[in-house]
Amino acid sequence: MKLDDLFNIIMSDNPIKKIKENEDAIFNFIPELKICKGFEQKNPWHIYDVYDHTLMVLSLVPQDLIMRLSALFHDIGKPQVYFEDGEGIGHFRGHWTVSRKIFEQFAETYDLDKELKEKVSLLILYHDKNFEDLYSKENLDILEQFDHEAIIRLFEFKKADLKSQNPKFHYLLEKFEQQKEEVLILKSKNTYIR
């Protein structure tokens, strides 16, 4: 498999079908993805293993290479950080950092365009970030890294990610839409406070 082959698969109209048809080649190309297959999350937020969740997110984001690559790698680090608490609930603290590192190693190996790498890395790193306290210094500092287009991508990604989780949490989709609008207004006013 070559990089162009992978891009053609993930950019297809039916990426889940295409990925499953080419699983062995893709797993050889991205070995960390194979570990995600059958990796149960044991968490009330999730009803799918890491791999099936990943494929669902990939199929729900727009046919945009930045979005599709972000979806493919966003949770790939989960098996490396997994632990269960005393009640047997699975947790993945910091998986976004490990996932970004795996993606960046992939990007370096296959000499991805610098701008593409940066945009995908940013989405992976902050896909799970809670922006409810929009005016916290941490959130304002994070959002300074995003331009208008990247903010739209981030919240579209967050919605696709949530839609690929337990339906009982889908009520948050409306909150994500509100947060997106608030962030875009804030960005347009350029009123970030440091």
Residues 66, 80: Cα–Cα separation, whole Å: 24
Residue 191 has pLDDT above 60, yes or no: no
> If DSSP codes are grouped into helix, strand and coil, which group holds residue 1?
coil
Q: Please state which of the ranges 6-15, 51-60, 90-99, 135-144 shows the lowest mean pLDDT.
A: 135-144
Cα-only R_g, the chain: 17
CB atoms within 10 A of CB 130: 9
| Confidence category of residue 190, pLDDT binned at 50, 70, 90 | low
| CB neighbourhood size of 161 (10 A) | 22
Q: Extract the runs of DSSP E, i.e. beta strands, from the chain.
A: 83-84, 90-91
The pTM of this model reads 0.92
